[in-house]
Structure 1
Amino acid sequence: MTEAIQIGNRTITASELISLLASYQMLPHLQRELIIDEAIEQNSRSANVAICTPEEVAQAKQQFYAEKQFKNEEDIQAWMAHQGLTPEQLEVIITRKLKIEKFKQATWGNKLESYFFQSKTKLDKVIYSLLRTQDVGIAQELYFRIQAKENSFADLAREYSLGPEAQTGGLVGPIELNALHPIMVQMLSSSQPGQILPPTRIADWFVILRLEKFIPAQLDEFMKVRLLNELFETWLQEQQKQIMSAPRPEAETGRQGQGDQPLT
């Protein structure tokens, strides 16, 4: 008997399902989740990734319910019905998220400090003032007026700057250095707060910069979570690339000609 699912008036067989997942561009997401499950399974034996205490499960449930904004049992039951889930499946979803976090910690938790220091120069933040124009003559004139204190940087930025920074008197940030143009990073990283940097050509603009404040990145809890997720996503993308580049078995190639498609 062919397995099938009923959605509205349409009956979808198992052989059709893979084709539909590919058509709706959902196969990469399925592949991603399968990679995660396999990694958790492989690591659980040595790192106890799969072991969740009752206290951890209870806390994970509370967090999950809060994220979904469930107010009572009726909300939970209604959501489960909408998703087509049983209580057992809901339990799996909640504990799986917990296991993923345990897997991240077991795999990269002891590497966060070294990764942080490798990335620190990109994670540092700056607050700076910016004035940009496409006319080199105007840029030079404005620079000398600021230097001579004839006008404030903020007033001239409001009047002459051609970017959104004009709305804030040229003030930008805090913003991470990795979000800025490389030339701006070099200029700001080598300057002192309050120093006016002369007009410099960056792409189509002539920019005048002044560093207001340098904010070193800190390895606090928020940063640890962020870096842990970065390492996890980098690993996951690499796993997906390896699967996509791996040669397909002849057996799967043969089945593909009969209508089925491999997950890769």
Structure 2
Amino acid sequence: MRMAKSETNGLNGKDDNSHLLAIADSNAEPSLLQIGNSAVGNGTGNHEFQGIDLVTLLKQYELLPKLREEMIIERAIAPFDCTLKEQTECYLEFCKQRQLNSETARQQWLQEQGMTEAQLINLATRELKIEKFKQATWGQNLENYFLQHKSELDQYVYSLIRVRDGAFAQELYSRLQTGEESFAELAKQYSEGLEAKTGGLIGPVPLSLSHPKLAQLLQTSELGELSVPSAIEDIWVIVQVEKIIPAQFDEQMQQKLLDELFDNWLKEQLKKPSPLQLIAS
């Protein structure tokens, strides 16, 4: 496997074309997009874009926000390195996923993408660097975060009937109380949501994915307790908690929380004023 021209270039993901697209002063605000003056095209009739035209196209196709997002991530992961072993594993996995199983296939792919092998290595290790950034930023306090939000992460299995008429909801509630008909039977007949197909049964789902009023209703209900009809916007609901599955601080949950914290962080970064500016190369 040919990694790069030199080990240093391979580790840093740098090459002779790095001036074509780069972040100028990664710690400065606003972020600066530097694009070289050389045109893009092969002289066979394809449109040739100068730097300013490229930015116009990015705006036209609504790609400028995505570029800014990627630049924010790139700046955040810049301090994180990968070992040679990690580079190799990421490189091989990247090639496997894209079925680049031969040197010819890899070189053809690089040519199509307009990339060097050093840039390929940088791309292949990017997700790992993002994971290292997540761990370094939130890993130590992750369990505390989990405990603070555990009630939202617990999963509920519950039965639901929803109708638009409050008086009819009260009638159904009375029938359920007397045991005249089962919850499943009434849900199949009268519930106005997709839960009618499952006899009213929903879940398991975390409370965070439920309507806030429904989540509160579930959280304050005892297991097996039939709730009185409650209005949620223009719908009346009757619920019964069937099962509560406590959230576990396992590997899957840790990854979920890290992803959530990273997404929230990125949204906050994107809210900050930081327009991309074209500068001379």
TM-score, normalised to structure 1, is 0.82
What one-letter code is carried by the residue in structure 2 that aligns with 1:6?
A: G
2:183 is the alignment partner of 1:153: yes
2:41 is the alignment partner of 1:6: yes
Structure 2 residue corresponding to 1:36, chosen from 65, 73, 97: 73
2:60 is the alignment partner of 1:23: yes
Tell me how large the CA RMSD over aligned residues is: 2.4
Distance (Å, rounded) in 1 between the aligned partners of 2:235 and 2:40: 58
Distance 1:93 1:80, change over 3 A: same
Kept after mapping to 1: 8 A contact 2:95/2:101: no
Partner of 2:4: none
What one-letter code is carried by the residue in structure 1 that aligns with 2:64?
A: L
Distance (Å, rounded) in 1 between the aligned partners of 2:164 and 2:270: 44
- Deviations along 1:111-160, one digit per CA (max 9) or x if unpaired, are 21111122222212111000111222322222122111111100110011
2:151 is the alignment partner of 1:82: no
Distance 1:76 1:170, change over 3 A: farther
How far has the Cα of 1:217 moved from its partner? 1.4
Listed as ranges, the matches of 1:105-254 within 5 Å are: 105-244=135-274
How far has the Cα of 1:66 moved from its partner? 4.4
Distance (Å, rounded) in 1 between the aligned partners of 2:38 and 2:125: 28
Distance (Å, rounded) in 2 between the aligned partners of 1:71 and 1:39: 29
Distance 1:137 1:239, change over 3 A: closer
- Deviations along 1:170-195, one digit per CA (max 9) or x if unpaired, are 00111110121222112211112211
* Count of matched residue pairs: 242
Distance (Å, rounded) in 2 between the aligned partners of 1:67 and 1:215: 35
Distance (Å, rounded) in 1 between the aligned partners of 2:150 and 2:37: 56
Report the 3-state secondary structure (helix = DSSP H, G, I; strand = E; otherwise coil) of the residue aligned with 1:6. Answer: coil
Report the 3-state secondary structure (helix = DSSP H, G, I; strand = E; otherwise coil) of the residue aligned with 2:239. Answer: strand
Q: Compare the two structures and name the one with the higher helix fraction.
A: 1
The list of structure 1 runs, each at least 4 consecutive aligned residues, that deviate by more than 3 angstroms after superposition, is 65-68, 74-82
Distance 1:211 1:67, change over 3 A: farther
Please identify, of 159-168 and 12-21, the stretch whose mean Cα deviation from structure 2 is larger: 12-21
TM-score, normalised to structure 2, is 0.78
What one-letter code is carried by the residue in structure 2 that aligns with 1:122?
A: E
Kept after mapping to 2: 8 A contact 1:19/1:261: no
Partner of 1:257: none
How far has the Cα of 1:77 moved from its partner? 4.4
How far has the Cα of 1:2 moved from its partner? 4.0
How far has the Cα of 1:65 moved from its partner? 3.5
Partner of 1:104: 134
2:91 is the alignment partner of 1:56: no
Distance 1:261 1:201, change over 3 A: farther
How far has the Cα of 1:88 moved from its partner? 2.3
Report the 3-state secondary structure (helix = DSSP H, G, I; strand = E; otherwise coil) of the residue aligned with 1:72. Answer: coil
Between the two proteins, what is the percent identity of the paired residues? 45
Distance 1:182 1:11, change over 3 A: same
What one-letter code is carried by the residue in structure 1 that aligns with 2:213?
A: I
What one-letter code is carried by the residue in structure 1 that aligns with 2:226?
A: I
Higher relative contact order (CA 8 A, sep 6+): 2
How far has the Cα of 1:102 moved from its partner? 1.3
Partner of 2:33: none
Partner of 2:14: none
